[in-house]
Structure 1
């Protein structure tokens, strides 16, 4: 008998079904004796709090899931927020998202169960695995829930902002996610929540660093103290300086740097590296060198790209002696290793 096999590449859905089938076959079987021992320690009419304590103490995560399901089948027992929460936390931490999803569905099916803390934890774990559609559905459930304890708080919006802005891997994708963040921010304000520095920094980062909309970021920055009664912090300035340098707006970046230092704030390594590169590329070699040494004095780490850009642009401007002295000082102060030093010397010789 002749059997013809398909030579086409399996579809994504087929590969997922095969993977799920393998996982179900290889799913571990709970240790029955250990399971019975855990059950025996529970009182006859145990409460959700007592079940939560038992799940907390249990190190076998699959046994925790089995214990939770066993308790669900017991007569006259109903899970509470605490037992749902600890089970979701343990399974989410262990990345057992399929089992966690089963428990989340149980939470959503019971109207009187749930609170803001529980749903925030669910959102956190779903964002880690990239299930943003599931996150949005959970958030909508919180907004429309008749249980006031389930309504979103400022913490919920923080989690959503961070999740959405962490998804973009290029400026176009980040811009598309910003189109979701903006109405979400307006909804937060319309719900009566005063934007804090974290929420406003998320907008600044989204506009400036990720989607490269510098003017929108500066608008939020100037509104922080005037409109929202919220003072910018070091993260605000770092996001803005990095974005301005990426656009070659060194004058504005220098003004923000001066304002930042006037408030006693120190830029992070990313901001300093951005400044060194931007100054060097715009021909402001002396400012770039000054910024480099200031960065080192403040204990920030200089990356190799900044060193290379500064040496390369110094040579382009004909400042070979300055570049040579800079390399000598870097070697003398042991700020670069042997391999990096040799690469920088090659850059210098190539431009001679």
Structure 2
């Protein structure tokens, strides 16, 4: 493929990193430092990326490039504080995620706009066989009598998803939407549930596909299309099992009266407006609450609390913590939407919402 990025592109492990906007920003702003951060699987590439920036892309400008050791879990976890600590005149380069759908909060203010000193490098995956994957999707749709779909993708697979969409349309499948997904944002896809027979998610692993399945409350099939293994899978059974487990967790919280409401200290995980709504419901029920602040939440950290202080925890920070990391914790751990269902007193099985 042709690369039009002024010599500031590099391909590592089949991922394309385009630093052209970063190079232009450095040229104009003359920052004292650049901070690079990446998701778990790409942290190992940061030294090579930093060297590429320094040696090939920044025209020998005198600027230090730092790398963040901890993985970044999404564009909700931008290292805005690290940039300020390193040097106020610095640039943050966030690799591997798209723009955040919710407000980012820092310095006492929240905004949906990306800070001016933050640049996203989406890291496009150059692998994946669009023809093969589309062929398998067409076969599955034919077997099930499906004729319409909406396609979601993790940001690394945008181009591949768009290629698959074109092929599906040529084969007579009505593609009503092709758009990115975040782990906690599925609104554009969910609102189309009456217009499609089944959904497609182009991403490695189960994370994004399961999130969409939960957001749909299992109402429509979700096909996981994996670019790395060239496999497709209907995850309806996984969604059903996960929903059953979530209702079991909610039932454990029905009699709860002491709520630990966890607010995140990462820029995109501080959501006081959601926490305050839950507090109103807790008060209406006659319960008690405490706000708990945390940058990261683990079962070990929760175990540091006295076991008698809280009956249930509500993850306002990252709703996926309740689904994946803490689904089997010894006390109920709920998403904000699950807390609303519990506090409403109606968990009959037809009102599941994810995540808020």
Q: TM-score range by the shorter chain?
A: under 0.3
TM-score normalized by the length of structure 2: 0.26
**Which structure has the highest helix share of the two?**
1
Tell me which of the two structures has the higher relative contact order, counting C-alpha pairs closer than 8 angstroms and 6 or more residues apart. 2
TM-score normalized by the length of structure 1: 0.26
**Which structure has the highest strand share of the two?**
2
